[in-house]
Amino acid sequence: MARDQVTELMQAFFAEGTETLEPVPGAAEALVGLSAHAEIVILSNVPASDADKRTRNLCRHGMDYPLIPNEGVKGPALAAIAARAHGQPLFFIDDLPHNLKSAAEHAAHSTRLHYMADPRLSRLMPTSAHAHYRPHDWHDAARFIREHLAGA
């Protein structure tokens, strides 16, 4: 499939499917628990034109957190978030190795979790060399983060 065809399919998906996405099991509960100890920000590669749809969808599923739309690798946006965090612990969760690598390059002090929600894909993809941890589910990710925050 040609790159322009993939781009068209992705644009159609975001335009038509963003508001109907179902959350990953345990995500909302894990984030609610973490929000008592940390500021939650969602950095998503949703086009800016569809960010409101994504925000509405997340809120409908109990995840009313600031959304930062992004295009491309996420390291530069993570660096901007880190600059506002003033040295506080920074955790980055992503499913794609190139985003974890970019995070390591632009926010080296971040703790990076390589989480793939779909177990079929997770079995196929090796853990990123730039990840500190590979959680099995959202509850595992939240436990890891809470333990690190307790030790910070």
Which residues of the chain register pLDDT less than 50? Answer: none
Q: Which domain holds residue 21?
A: 3-151
Please report which helix (H) or strand (E) contains residue 151, including its range: helix 138-151
The predicted structure's pLDDT at residue 152: 67
Number of domains in the chain: 1
Distance CA 62, CA 7 (A): 30
The predicted structure's pLDDT at residue 11: 83
**CATH, residue 116:** 3.40.50.1000
Q: pLDDT (tens digit, 9 = 90+) per residue, 65-106?
A: 999 999 999 999 999 999 998 889 999 999 999 999 999 999
The predicted structure's pLDDT at residue 12: 85
Contact 145, 38 (CB under 8 A): yes
Q: Report pTM.
A: 0.93
Alpha helices by DSSP H, listed for 18-137, are 27-35, 51-60, 75-85, 97-106, 119-124
Distance CA 14, CA 20 (A): 10
Please report which helix (H) or strand (E) contains residue 148, including its range: helix 138-151
Other beta carbons within 10 Å of 116: 18
Q: Roughly how many angstroms between the first and final C-alpha of the chain, as a whole number?
A: 47
CA distances in angstroms from 94 to 89, 100, 151, listed in the order given: 17, 7, 23
